[in-house]
Amino acid sequence: MASHYVLEWKKILDSVADGVFTVDDHMFITSFNRAAERITGVPRDEAIGRPCFEIFRGDRCQTDCALKKSFQTGKERINLHVRVTNRQGKTIPISVSTAVLRDEGGHVIGGVETFRDLSAEEALRKEIFRSYTFEDIVSKNHKMRAIFDLLPDVARSGCNVLIEGESGTGKELVARALHNLSGQAKGPYVAVNCAALPDTLLESELFGYVRGAFTDAKRDKPGRFALAAAGSIFLDEIASVSNALQVRLLRVLQERVFEPLGSVRPRPMEARVIVATNRDLAEMVKEGSFRRDLYYRLNVVRLQLPPLRERREDIPLLAQHFVERFNIKQNKEVEGLSPEALALLMECDYPGNVRQLENALEHAFVMCHGRQIRPEHLPRELAAAPAPPPEESFESAEEGLLRRVLAKHGGKYVEAARELGIHRTTLYRKRRRYQL
């Protein structure tokens, strides 16, 4: 009769989609179901009797084995993300849950582990992430998506482009995307930060000089316009350029020629010009601090990038993007952020925009030695606030965001839903949930 029950038990285990195996109190495998065979590529007969780490070769097997922790604490471990290597040498993401097995007297006699192959889910997540990625820019915000739609046509046009946005919003990423999608893509991409150099140095940096132009000019030096050739030149922080240099830039744009310092022979300017600023150039024109004629030469197409506080729905997406980037850069395998840490990120106003978020995640990577970024790993100014429980953290962050956006649009749900990047029926449902 007992053997009949064992047979039925094995049939049941073989019918489930998740991998299941049991071990004795020395961590040797005592049973191995059909799904475990399929996921690992190891036949049951080969697995039984061997230590489980020999079969799974997981990234936590030697340092943070879930089954060992269950043996040590007597507690279950639920839905831990692990990567194992199958028989073909392929790395597979799995979700693991473990528990101890006890006899009738309550003594531990072994353990059980169930695991689920997450390969399809990970592939789907990557596909969704790709759908929100344009070149190196990540966003699902409706304003940013509208810019994504415009970029290919603007890039192909070859016209001058003015990119406006606060510091850290990704203006250079947009400039690079314009270059990569344009007819100039095979040519150089040259970037110049106009605010980083005093006016005299910036002039020689842009236009170059010929030998003898000044005391230390021992040989000719090509400027950035010459180096850009038939590619693209990106002039960042254009608002910082002096009036005198604005006049020279105007001539370059009007006549498509430039003269190196000390030269009387004009050189052709073939590069496509893209400029960016974190200031309101139109207002500067009214004030008389920026030339009107140069402004209209630059402002053939204007792209305005919203600050991160106006596209908060992008914060989880950007956070995961930076996690993946820093995993590669720092050779780590951080899986993501805890709900508490994400809630803190959602509450920040980000005066430094996407760059500030990136820096916060890079700081967290330095401090984090586990698999998940927690509030204590974030910069002090973010982690200082006490984090509520996960559900409360997320709901509090979401409710606060909805209230701010609705107040901004005077309670107009269609406009608020558009800014949040969600359907208005979703916003209605959330309104009822939070009794807004």
Q: Is residue 387 very low, low, confident or very high in pLDDT (cuts 50, 70, 90)?
A: very low
In a domain, 126, yes or no: no
Task: Clarify whether residues 288 and 148 are in a common domain.
Answer: yes
In a domain, 98, yes or no: yes
Q: Is residue 390 very low, low, confident or very high in pLDDT (cuts 50, 70, 90)?
A: very low
Task: Clarify whether residues 154 and 299 are in a common domain.
Answer: yes
List, for residues 193-214, the tens digit of each pLDDT value: 999 988 878 988 999 887 755 5
> Considering its fold, how many domains does the chain have in total?
3
Task: Clarify whether residues 146 and 286 are in a common domain.
Answer: yes
List, for residues 217-266, the tens digit of each pLDDT value: 667 888 999 999 999 999 999 999 999 999 999 999 999 999 888 777 88
Give the H or E element holding residue 347: helix 339-347
DSSP string, 51-98: BHHHHH--TTTTTS-HHHHHHHH---EEEEEEEEE-TTS-EEEEEEEE
Task: Clarify whether residues 40 and 148 are in a common domain.
Answer: no
pLDDT at 127: 65
Contact present, 151 and 181 (Cβ < 8 Å): yes
Task: Clarify whether residues 330 and 407 are in a common domain.
Answer: yes
Q: Token pair of 172, please?
A: 């250079």
In a domain, 125, yes or no: no
Question: Where in 225-264 does DSSP place strands (E)?
Answer: 232-236, 257-258
Q: Within its chain, how far is the Cα of 165 from the centroid?
A: 19
Q: Give the long-range contacts of residues 212-219, CB within 8 A, separation 24 or more.
A: 212/262, 213/260, 213/261, 213/262, 213/263, 214/261, 214/262, 217/261, 217/262
The residue to which tokens 């406009």 are assigned: 415
Task: Clarify whether residues 162 and 98 are in a common domain.
Answer: no
In a domain, 406, yes or no: yes
pLDDT at 389 over 60: no
Last residue of a domain, one of 306, 339, 364: 306
DSSP state of 417: H
Task: Clarify whether residues 295 and 320 are in a common domain.
Answer: no
pLDDT at 280: 93
Task: Clarify whether residues 204 and 337 are in a common domain.
Answer: no
70-89 average pLDDT score: 85
pTM, rounded to two decimals: 0.65
In a domain, 346, yes or no: yes
In a domain, 122, yes or no: no
In a domain, 38, yes or no: yes
CA distance 235 to 162: 10
In a domain, 347, yes or no: yes
CA distance 328 to 316: 19
Last residue of a domain, one of 90, 117, 144: 117
More confident residue, 31 or 124: 31
Helix/strand/coil for 23: strand
Q: Is residue 294 very low, low, confident or very high in pLDDT (cuts 50, 70, 90)?
A: very high
Identify the CA nearest to 183 among candidates 161, 219, 223, 156.
156
pLDDT at 421: 62
CATH number at residue 20: 3.30.450.20
Task: Clarify whether residues 302 and 318 are in a common domain.
Answer: no
Task: Clarify whether residues 148 and 259 are in a common domain.
Answer: yes
pLDDT at 154: 95
pLDDT at 410 over 80: no
Last residue of a domain, one of 255, 284, 306: 306
Task: Clarify whether residues 318 and 394 are in a common domain.
Answer: yes
CATH number at residue 367: 1.10.8.60
Q: Give the long-range contacts of residues 70-75, CB within 8 A, separation 24 or more.
A: 70/98, 70/99, 70/100, 70/111, 71/25, 71/100, 71/108, 71/111, 74/100, 74/108
Report percent pLDDT > 70 for the chain: 87
CATH number at residue 231: 3.40.50.300
pLDDT averaged over the chain? 85
Q: Is residue 394 very low, low, confident or very high in pLDDT (cuts 50, 70, 90)?
A: low
Provide the residue range defining the domain that includes 395: 309-434
Task: Clarify whether residues 415 and 322 are in a common domain.
Answer: yes
Report percent pLDDT > 90 for the chain: 50
